[in-house]
Amino acid sequence: MKFGLSTGTFYIYPLRTVFRWARQASFDTVELVVNPEVIARGGAAVRRVAEEEGMPIGSVHPTVVRLPGWWERRGGMERTIPLAMETGAGTMVMHTPRSESLDAGEGLAFRQLVERWQPHLAASGNGLRLAVENKAVRSALDRRFALTPVERLRAFADRHDLDLVLDTMHAGSAGVDLVYASKVFDGRLAEVHLSDMGGHVPLGNWRLAQDLWSQHRFPGAGKLALEEMVAALAAAGFEGTVVLEVNPVAARIWWPAAARRRLDRAMAWLRRAAAGGAGPG
């Protein structure tokens, strides 16, 4: 099992800084989230910066900000996948469509994207694999989407030879047991996006506080059974990557010293959990 850090947590920081912090905190790899610096430099140049900092890019994640031409739901994957190939990453993260059918609208566009790129990637010999992430559930409509149930997502991955990404916060929001989800994805699980949810929230009666603090928290800050899941993956010999993916507020991005300390504590938690006993967060 490897441990990675999502650069999305520090989206506004220079990549070299984030790569260095990841190395100093003893992460094995990073998940590169596309941002303006990534676009301006290009995949090959970002790869060189990562190599200079001694931090491999294990995976690439689409932009989390609606950057023109790069937004995943507006055709941005046609640019993001080639960029990922340039970085030398092994995994390209994708998100399920907001569609009840894979034969019309956004669902059809998603399926056709997969069908178009799979043979190209296989023929390229680059080693990049497409991996689809399970969806968060924030409304009744989200539950009706074609690939929201983890069982259906697994069946789709089998049909198209895709890898899978288990996002723990997304699973928690859907009420899916994490160990169960990891078993459903077993054999195709490339990454786990690890974060907590729920728990005590400062100014919890304020809706914005709930949105900022209660989702994508550091492990141990919320209510999810993250320790049990990580220990189960370690016991099963999981060879993929557990990627720490927490929100910028939780990381205290406005205070670099505090952010660095939190990364160190998170890495210590991950190593204890993998050894079978993380204890309190």
**E runs forming strands in the chain:** 2-6, 29-33, 57-61, 91-95, 129-133, 163-167, 189-194, 241-244
Q: What is the pTM of this model?
A: 0.93
Q: Is residue 280 part of a domain?
A: no
Q: Is residue 6 part of a domain?
A: yes
Identify the domain containing residue 44 by its residue range.
2-193
Are 278 and 219 spatial neighbours (Cβ–Cβ below 8 Å)? yes
Residue 201 confidence (pLDDT)? 61
Q: Is residue 254 part of a domain?
A: no
- Phi, psi for 241 (deg, rounded to 5): -120, 135
H helices within 125-252, ranges in order? Answer: 140-144, 150-160, 168-173, 178-184, 207-213, 226-235
Spatial distance between the Cα atoms of 39 and 178, rounded to a whole number of angstroms = 34
Spatial distance between the Cα atoms of 67 and 30, rounded to a whole number of angstroms = 21
Q: Is residue 266 part of a domain?
A: no
Write the CATH number for 8.
3.20.20.150
pLDDT along the chain (281 residues), means of 10: 97 97 98 98 98 98 96 96 98 98 97 97 96 96 97 98 98 97 98 89 54 80 95 96 96 95 97 74 40
Q: Is residue 248 part of a domain?
A: no
Residue 114 confidence (pLDDT)? 98
Spatial distance between the Cα atoms of 87 and 114, rounded to a whole number of angstroms = 20
Residue 200 confidence (pLDDT)? 64
Q: Which amino acid is at 174?
A: A
Domain count, the chain: 1
Q: Is residue 147 part of a domain?
A: yes
Are 189 and 182 spatial neighbours (Cβ–Cβ below 8 Å)? yes
Q: Is residue 223 part of a domain?
A: no
